[in-house]
Amino acid sequence: MKNPNRYGTVTKLSGNRRRPWVVKEGLSGRQRAIGYAATKEEGLILLAQYNNTPWDIDAHKITLQELYEVWLEKRCVKLGKANQANLKSAYKHCIKLGGTPYAQIKAYQMQDCIDNCGRGYSTQGAIKNLWGHLDRFAMELDIISKRYSDLLTSAPIPDTTKKIFTQEEIARIWENKNLPWIDSILFLLYTGFRISEMLSLQTNAVDLQEWIIRGGVKTEAGKNRLVPIHTKIQEIVRKRVETTKSGYLFEYEGEKIKQFKYREAWADHMKKLNMNHTPHECRHTFRSNLDSAGANKVCIDRLMGHKSTDTGERVYTHKNIDELRLNIELITY
């Protein structure tokens, strides 16, 4: 059946091509190419879509690389630095499509970038996330009308291999509290700080009058968060503040301790105590025990330095230091 006047055409080009069917619009009277297709049927669908809702042909020709560069300038800069770094790294696995007009990239091609990246769930998730960002930006610019990124999948987060400290193990740590550096294990168990956060704490971040620590370094939600000092470790913290020479809460030979040096001390203590744990498992233990004790979910997120997943909780719920203190005292190892 013949197409109506000025409807456009779908014709096959000569030679061995991956997408040999050229689709040309007819509305402008100039028969401009609006795209290429692998089959005639695919070309007719594209032509029908164009006639139903004509798009900016110049915008439709923007390649992935061109879109990515504009997105970097206009949207990526508004994200957190860690997120920016992850998304920029993810693009390395998509760059093979850099010269392809973005409107012509299909879901299977996006998925191929994820499936063949040769990396684990974290990188796969970042690639999937990047396609989502680019799709949303492309829709803003009227480059696409369908978000193929909604169809993508990535490897699931594996079950954690972290083991929390048992009550018996924590009791054994308290029995050996006078050994060098054992106090740091107790500090991690009762504050939920990461090892990097603990080692970067300076004494001016500790308020011995209000028994509060301001610390945290990793995320926007975690930076400079307020953590009440549990009554069980107040004397430990006071002693550290009063004896420091470097100004750091935990030091080695009068200087800020390096993480590798601390991990050496940690390994020695785990051997002496007949335990097998990593420093980060203190943080898992802290979280797990707060949850088991019935602590408020928002308070747990505040103490851990996590961003609440619920928008209402994140925006409208405010927890003061007294509520945080009440919740942290629920830990009764």
For the cut 80, the answer to whether the pLDDT of residue 308 exceeds it is: no
Half-sphere exposure of 60 (CA within 13 A, CB side): 18
Each residue of 24-47: pLDDT tens digit? 988 877 788 888 899 999 999 989
| Percentage above 90 pLDDT, the chain | 72
Each residue of 192-207: pLDDT tens digit? 999 999 999 999 999 9
CA distance linking residue 100 with residue 267, whole number of Å: 52
The runs of H, that is alpha helices, within the chain are 40-52, 57-60, 64-74, 81-91, 107-115, 121-140, 167-175, 182-191, 195-200, 234-243, 259-272, 280-292, 297-304, 311-316, 321-328
Confidence class of residue 160 from pLDDT cuts 50, 70 and 90? low
For 31-37, the CB contacts below 8 A with 24+ separation are: 32/57, 34/8, 34/60, 35/60, 35/101, 35/103, 35/104, 36/104, 37/10
In terms of average pLDDT, the best of 3-17, 165-179, 295-309 is 165-179
Between residues 303 and 34, which one has the greater pLDDT?
303
| Percentage above 70 pLDDT, the chain | 92
For the cut 80, the answer to whether the pLDDT of residue 313 exceeds it is: no
For the cut 60, the answer to whether the pLDDT of residue 220 exceeds it is: no
Poorest-pLDDT segment among 51-55, 95-99, 184-188, 218-222: 218-222
Residue 317: predicted pLDDT: 41
Confidence class of residue 318 from pLDDT cuts 50, 70 and 90? very low
CA distance linking residue 108 with residue 128, whole number of Å: 12
Residue 219: predicted pLDDT: 54
Poorest-pLDDT segment among 24-38, 123-137, 313-327: 313-327
User: What is the average per-residue pLDDT within 159-168?
Assistant: 84
Between residues 216 and 308, which one has the greater pLDDT?
216
Confidence class of residue 1 from pLDDT cuts 50, 70 and 90? low
User: What is the average per-residue pLDDT within 244-269?
Assistant: 93
Each residue of 86-120: pLDDT tens digit? 999 999 999 999 999 999 999 999 999 999 999 99
For the cut 90, the answer to whether the pLDDT of residue 6 exceeds it is: no
Instruction: Answer for the pair 230, 238: CB distance below 8 angstroms, yes or no.
Output: no
Considering Cα of 111, then 114, then 116, then 121, what sign does the dihedral take? negative
Instruction: Answer for the pair 302, 320: CB distance below 8 angstroms, yes or no.
Output: no
Residue 203: predicted pLDDT: 95
Residue 2: predicted pLDDT: 73
Each residue of 7-28: pLDDT tens digit? 999 999 998 988 899 999 888 7
For the cut 90, the answer to whether the pLDDT of residue 222 exceeds it is: no
